Amino acid sequence: MSRRRISYAAIARVEQYFKGIATKAEPAVFGICNMQREIIRRVDIDGNVTDAPPTVLIPEKLERLIYPKRLKIVYGGRGSAKTRSIVSILTAQASARRERVLCLREIQNSIEESSHAELSEEIERRDLSGSFVVGRKIIRVPATRSSFSFRGLYRNVTGVKGFAKATKAWVDEAETVSRESWGVLMPTIREPGSEIIVSFNPNKPTDPTWVDLIGPYENLLDDDGCYEDDEVLIIRANYTDNPWFTAELEIERAKMERTDRDRYNWIWLGQFNRRSDEIIFAGKWRSEAFETPANVRFFFGADWGFAQDPTTLNRSFVRGNTLFIDWEANSLRQNNGKGVDLDEIWKLFAGNEGMRPKQREQWQPGDALKYPGIPGARQWKIKADSARPETISLVAKQGFNISAAAKWGGSVEDGITFLRGFDEIVIHPRCVETIKEFERYSYKVDKQTGDILPIIVDKHNHHIDGIRYSMDGYIRGRNGLNISSEALQAAAAA
C-alpha cells in the first residue's frame, strides 16, 4: 500500500490553522485622536475608559462607532478614514469575542470586488496573522470562532437570508444599494445585539440609501451632519476629520478642487452629485475659434478604424493648463462614410503635404477637397493605438514618424483622469466629430435604478482615444505612476 506525501504547503496551512486556535490576540485598546494626532482618550473593547497603552487609533469624529448601536451610518467623501476605522473596529471586536460578520456590497461578482482586501491589509498591518486565518473567500478567528463572510446583495435573497445568525453586517459603498436589497437585509440581521454598519459617499438625493436611511433624520442632523438616538447613529466624515490625511492625497484633493469644483464637492466633501455625471467631460470643455500660436509643441494621436468605426487623427497643444484641439481627420466623414484604404491613410493624415513621388501619382482630382490633411502631420511624432501594429508599420512606410502608445490595465481611466486635470479643453469648431464625442462620451447608466456605473461606454471615443494616445509618456511615467498635466505644461513651454 503506497503512502502519499503531504506537501509542505498543506502542512503550512494546517500549522497556521492550529496556530490560530492556540493564539488569541491581546484585547485591543482604542486610542481616540484629535486632529493634532494627540490621544485624548483610551477606550477598551467594551467601551470603557482605560489607562492601558493604545493599540488601535481612531479619529475622534468616528469614536461613536465603537459603542453598541443597532444602525450605524457613516457617510462622506474620500480620505475620511471611515473604511479604515470600521475595519479596525471590526477586527478588534472579532479578536475579543465571537462575531459573525457579514461584509456586503450591492454587486459582488468576485472576492476582488468585496472588502476582503481591506480586512486582509488590516490584519497584516497590525501583525494579527497569528490569530486570524485569511482564506480566499472567508476570514476566521479560530480562538474566538469569529468569521468574516463576503456577499453581494443584488438578486441574492437566498444567499443573504442564510446569514440570519450574523452579529454584524457591514454594507460598504452603500450609495448603490437598492430599496429591494435593504428590504431583504434589515429583517435578516436579527440576532440580539446585532448591528448594521453602513458606509458610503452620497450620490443623488433620490437614491434609496439616502431617502430611506438618512431621510427620516435629515432635518435632525446637526451642523456637522451627525445625529444619534438609542437605535441610530449617523456621522458625516470628510478628509477634514482625518488626522492622518496623507500628503499624496492632499495633492490629489487640491488639484481636483482647482480644476473640477463640481466633482470635488462630490468626491471629497460628500455632497450630492449635482451634475449630469454620466457625461465624462461635462463642464470641462468648450468649442471656440482660436488662432494657433507659432512655435508651439504639437501632440498628434491616431485611432484605427474597422468596419463602421473611423480612422482618426487629432492635433493639439497646451498653453498654461488648457488643452487646445485645433485639427481633426476622420475617415468616414471625409470619404462619405466609406472609410479609407490602408494604402491611402497618408492622404487622410497629411493631404498633399510632403507627398513622395509615387504618392503624387496616386493623388486624384478632388482629393484636395476630400483630404485637406492636418498641417505638420509628417513632421511631428504621432502616437497611435497599439492594437494594430501592422497598420502602424504601413503608415510609417508612407512617410510618418509614428509609433504605438503604451497601454496598461486602467489606462483608459488614467487617461480620462489626466485629460480632466486640465483647467479646460478648448476645441476648434472645425473639429466637428471631436466635438460630438465630447458631448456624448459617457459612463454606463443602470436602466432599472438610474445609477451611474463606473463602466465607460465604448462609444463616441475614437478622437478622444487618439488624443489620449498623443499624451503617451505624460499620462504614465517610467515608474508606472500617473503624472500630472503640469509636466506636460513644462514640456510644451520648453
Q: Convert the pLDDT of each residue in 91-108 to its tens digit.
A: 999 999 999 999 999 988
Other residues' Cβ atoms within 10 Å of the Cβ of residue 215? 12
- Quote the mean pLDDT of the chain: 87
> Where residue 33 falls among pLDDT bands split at 50, 70, 90?
very high
> Where residue 24 falls among pLDDT bands split at 50, 70, 90?
low
Q: Examine the pLDDT at 287 and tell me if it is beyond 80.
A: yes
Q: Examine the pLDDT at 400 and tell me if it is beyond 70.
A: yes
Mean pLDDT across 65-73: 97
In angstroms, what CA-CA distances link 484 with 257, 399, 419, 434? 14, 32, 9, 23
The Cα 80–Cα 397 span in angstroms is 54
Mean pLDDT across 107-130: 86
> 340 vs 18, which has greater pLDDT?
340
Best CA proximity match to 201, nearest among 108, 85, 78:
78
Best CA proximity match to 172, nearest among 146, 148, 192:
148
The Cα 100–Cα 236 span in angstroms is 26
Q: How far is CA 153 from the centre of its chain?
A: 21
- Residue 476: φ, ψ to 5°: -135, 120
Do the beta carbons of residue 239 and residue 253 sit within 8 Å?
yes
Q: What's the confidence (pLDDT) of residue 477?
A: 41
Which residues on adjacent β-strands are paired with residue 198? Answer: 73, 171
Best CA proximity match to 371, nearest among 341, 347, 353:
347
Q: Examine the pLDDT at 489 and tell me if it is beyond 90.
A: no
> Where residue 487 falls among pLDDT bands split at 50, 70, 90?
low
Q: Which of 7-11, 63-67, 342-346 has the lowest mean pLDDT?
A: 7-11
Mean pLDDT across 9-22: 43
* pLDDT tens-place string over residues 44-68: 998 899 999 999 999 999 999 999 9
Do the beta carbons of residue 77 and residue 236 sit within 8 Å?
no
The Cα 369–Cα 345 span in angstroms is 15
The Cα 226–Cα 249 span in angstroms is 25
- Looking at the domain 8-28+60-241, which fold is it? Rossmann fold (3.40.50)
Task: Check the CA dihedral 316-370-291-402 and report its sign.
Answer: positive
Q: Which of 160-174, 234-248, 433-447 has the lowest mean pLDDT?
A: 433-447
CATH of 285-493, one of 3.20.80.10, 1.10.3720.10, 1.20.1250.20, 3.30.420.280: 3.30.420.280
> Where residue 486 falls among pLDDT bands split at 50, 70, 90?
low
Mean pLDDT across 84-91: 95
Q: What's the confidence (pLDDT) of residue 490?
A: 58
Mean pLDDT across 123-148: 91
Q: Which three cell numbers stand for residue 410?
A: 486602467
Q: Examine the pLDDT at 329 and tell me if it is beyond 70.
A: yes
Q: Examine the pLDDT at 220 and tell me if it is beyond 60.
A: yes
Domains of the chain, by residue range, sit at 8-28+60-241, 285-493
Q: Examine the pLDDT at 408 and tell me if it is beyond 60.
A: yes
Best CA proximity match to 211, nearest among 449, 11, 466:
449
Look up residue 211 and give its amino acid.
V
Q: How far is CA 91 from the centre of its chain?
A: 26
Radius of gyration for the alpha carbons in the chain, expressed in angstroms and rounded? 28
Mean pLDDT across 273-295: 84
Q: Examine the pLDDT at 447 and tell me if it is beyond 70.
A: no
- Residue 421, burial from CB neighbour count under 10 angstroms (0-12, 13-18, 19+): buried
Mean pLDDT across 337-360: 90
Q: Which three cell numbers stand for residue 137?
A: 473567500
- Residue 365: φ, ψ to 5°: -55, 135
Q: Which of 173-182, 270-279, 296-305, 341-350 has the lowest mean pLDDT?
A: 270-279
Percent above pLDDT 70 for the chain: 88
3-state secondary structure string across the chain: CCCCCCCHHHHHHHHHHHHHHHCCCCCCEEEEECCCCCEEEEEECCCCECCCCCCEEEEHHHHHHHCCCCEEEEECCCCCCHHHHHHHHHHHHHHHCCCEEEEEECCCCCHHHCCHHHHHHHHHHCCCCCCCEECCCEEEECCCCEEEEEEECCCCHHHHHCCCCCCEEEECCHHHCCHHHHHHHHHHCCCCCCEEEEEECCCCCCCHHHHHHHHHHHHHCCCCCCEECCCEEEEECCHHHCCCCCHHHHHHHHHHHHHCHHHHHHHCCCCCCCCCCCECCCCCEEECCCCCCCCCCCEEEEECCCCCCCCEEEEEEEECCEEEEEEEEEHHHHCCCCCCCHHHHHHHHHCCCCCCHHHHHHCCCCHHHHCCCCCCCCCCCEEECCCCHHHHHHHHHCCCCEEECCCCCCHHHHHHHHHHCCCEEEECCCCHHHHHHHHHCEEEECCCCCCEEEEECCCCCHHHHHHHHHCCCCCECCCCCECCHHHHHHHHHC
Other residues' Cβ atoms within 10 Å of the Cβ of residue 12? 10
Q: Which three cell numbers stand for residue 70?
A: 443597532
Mean pLDDT across 163-183: 93
> Where residue 483 falls among pLDDT bands split at 50, 70, 90?
very low
The Cα 441–Cα 461 span in angstroms is 6
Q: Examine the pLDDT at 232 and tell me if it is beyond 60.
A: yes
